[in-house]
Structure 1
């Protein structure tokens, strides 16, 4: 029997282990959180990462968040992404079509929008959101719509989609990929694997790239909201979305048009934007607050700032910025009426940039301190904005917890 190791025991790999167990396969699971050897109820070994021995493993299924620099990857002889693993499981009896959606911002919204538009074709979303791939494989829907991270693409070498939709690519995850160029290469990698009779919808700026020129399928390009709306054939005023969500909506419509030769703006207008993404609410004094906790990179925060450029902005910024260059935020801030409230592990970095750009910044260390400081200053003509341009794991379990606590701190003691 094949000896399967699993690297990282998280959201994507737990369902795979469960599926393998139903097939009578017991796994060896390696994770940094395990400090000593143990077993779970199914008999899977739970082992510290340092215990991995490549001589006892025939296949290593990776959790996508594990960076290439991790010692486990230095030892692995047969590493495989979950995308490649399930690609190898497909057969003439079950070989679903798939749409992969990647990019820097808007992946979740666009994936959910496109799944809605293609629901009559049996579309079901998964990947980073929705149903885990192991569960999709068990349920066997005819169309997989997968939110796909650059981490997964980095590790995927054989699997490819029927349709690849790439949203704009901006600087993110630099510490993981080591450079912006490596990040871009990961985003464009599917083009080098996809075969004929496949399709891609890509930013115009990548048309000159080696990956695009060597793509065997049919590529469509987009440049901006105006030209994209013309290509789709819709009036943007007919859509109930604004800001970055309008681009997401148009890309979902264009993808549906290419994939199924039809669009449905009425159906799309029923879509509700998810929590913690430019989510507006008011406190008991009628003051505007915005939960953009999912704004985990520079480009997302820039879009949020532009959306409220006509107001006095009290911005909560900071966390694990993943090595990104934050200067564009401060360059934009110089032209706005803004005060910055710094939190998280990169607070000192933010303070240095604020001095360099002569921006008003208040070191707050923690989210609650920042919210309370804003409460003392915010008027009804301003906005309290949480758009941290950083991941949350330095102080929170997730961006969701960060957003929920933000809302709690805003509304308490009023």
Structure 2
């Protein structure tokens, strides 16, 4: 409400966007970041005349808030969050806040793996089909900032579990859950059940006019569904079985049936190849048919889409060695998908970073069959050595992207692939996974 104190914790993309929207709505806005605020965000806050602090959280200022918008990166165990919870102050996400000020149709996409690719592909299809659509969430400009400055009819939102945790009344019209595999368990008391519960929050508040699109081949998703009832219309996708509604494979044909529409496309014509990308394309395709887009437009967009940087991105071929940047693989399952999609059996794999409670056993069979050497890139590599020393003859330690690339180049020979797919978070040596991927690409280009 106008004049009331609204505090934003964290001054990254999402926090600064929320601050702008809150200011626009007449709140007394205060932004607090325990770390250093990036210059570009400081400049924006100053330009908008929004008060802020960095390198501290001043409790006397923050506890005056009627409501607090928290950055997804701040855990519940942070002292300031505990103080707010004790006082009973509502703590919400930027998505929850921004959702109050838009009547757009919301397509929300979550899952342990494939979120960014599926969100980007869905946005690409909708935009090319002529829809007035925005892309936000974990990707692009903040949702709140776009709500404040644009008037989109549709939004494609990439939603992480951390965002979903702080969403209560927000409703997703078309919800997509790609998969549930162990990730971020350090934030969920190391319980997969807690993490799965978080993912299923994407379906909360849905009604009979909404849709829930999910993978019928994913064991954890099916387990979670058995414990819940759904108001929304269910549209599953599978590459293992034929389905009356949803998406499935009919030989080489990707087939989609929604209550009012039918779509087919040969999988060899998809821009995104590999088993995991068939799932991603199915999910995007179902969204497109729910929105009743023309088949020709969907086929064209699915055929000409270019994947996002840092996700299985081809960097260069040097001396017959292929270099692939999959820096976005911040968990074991992402690395599993990357290895599973490698065409040859001679991979030099660059692994390591901040281990979030990883179970490396999932990778053992692929490491045995496809990996000739492992280059560790991180400050703590002991668990990688423990996991794979019996399966891989050569495991070396490095402490920078440049060192890792040089070591991998030395270990690889003509016809091999050097794959950066770390299975870990990046913040031991890098600002984020983009910085890690960019440093890797630069090092490759300097060979």
Q: TM-score, normalization: structure 1?
A: 0.91
Q: Which residue of structure 1 aligns with residue 72 of structure 2?
A: 64
Residue 347 of structure 1 contacts residue 365 of structure 1 at CA under 8 Å; is this kept in 2? no
Cα drift, residue 191 of structure 1: 2.1
SS at match of 1:229: strand
Superposition pairs of residues 168-187 of structure 1, within 5 angstroms: 168-178=179-189, 179-187=191-199
Q: Bigger shift: 247-256 or 162-171? A: 247-256
SS at match of 1:189: helix
SS at match of 2:12: coil
SS at match of 2:169: coil
Q: Which residue of structure 2 aligns with residue 129 of structure 1?
A: 139
Give the distance between the partners of 1:98 and 1:234, measured in 2 at CA.
26
Superposition pairs of residues 277-316 of structure 1, within 5 angstroms: 277-308=311-342, 310-316=344-350
Cα drift, residue 210 of structure 1: 4.9
SS at match of 2:13: coil
Residue 349 of structure 2 contacts residue 371 of structure 2 at CA under 8 Å; is this kept in 1? no
Give the distance between the partners of 2:80 and 2:20, measured in 1 at CA.
22
Q: How many residues align?
A: 407
Q: Structure 2 vs 1, CA of residues 241 and 282 (structure 1 numbering), >3 Å: closer, same or farther?
A: same
Cα drift, residue 339 of structure 1: 0.8
Q: Bigger shift: 111-120 or 20-29? A: 20-29
Give the distance between the partners of 1:234 and 1:385, measured in 2 at CA.
30
Cα drift, residue 21 of structure 1: 3.0
Q: Structure 2 vs 1, CA of residues 5 and 346 (structure 1 numbering), >3 Å: closer, same or farther?
A: same
SS at match of 2:370: coil
Cα drift, residue 74 of structure 1: 0.7
Give the distance between the partners of 2:238 and 2:271, measured in 1 at CA.
21
Q: Structure 2 vs 1, CA of residues 383 and 21 (structure 1 numbering), >3 Å: closer, same or farther?
A: same
Give the distance between the partners of 1:220 and 1:192, measured in 2 at CA.
16
Q: Which residue of structure 2 aligns with residue 229 of structure 1?
A: 249
Give the distance between the partners of 1:34 and 1:52, measured in 2 at CA.
18
SS at match of 2:320: coil
Cα drift, residue 357 of structure 1: 4.9
Q: Which residue of structure 2 aligns with residue 12 of structure 1?
A: 14
Q: Bigger shift: 186-195 or 288-297? A: 186-195
Task: Determine which of 198, 215, 236 is the counterpart of 2:230.
Answer: 215
Q: Structure 2 vs 1, CA of residues 237 and 45 (structure 1 numbering), >3 Å: closer, same or farther?
A: closer
Q: Structure 2 vs 1, CA of residues 208 and 55 (structure 1 numbering), >3 Å: closer, same or farther?
A: closer
In the alignment, structure 1 residue 317 sits paired with structure 2 residue 354: no
Give the distance between the partners of 1:307 and 1:210, measured in 2 at CA.
29
Give the distance between the partners of 1:410 and 1:404, measured in 2 at CA.
10
Q: Which runs of 5+ in 2 are unaligned?
A: 243-247, 257-263
Residue 367 of structure 2 contacts residue 392 of structure 2 at CA under 8 Å; is this kept in 1? no
Q: Which residue of structure 2 aligns with residue 246 of structure 1?
A: 278
Superposition pairs of residues 48-197 of structure 1, within 5 angstroms: 49-53=56-60, 55-76=63-84, 77-90=89-102, 95-119=103-127, 120-138=130-148, 139-178=150-189, 179-197=191-209
Give RMSD over aligned pairs.
Answer: 2.4
Give the distance between the partners of 1:208 and 1:320, measured in 2 at CA.
29
Cα drift, residue 270 of structure 1: 1.8
SS at match of 1:335: helix
Give the distance between the partners of 2:105 and 2:199, measured in 1 at CA.
20
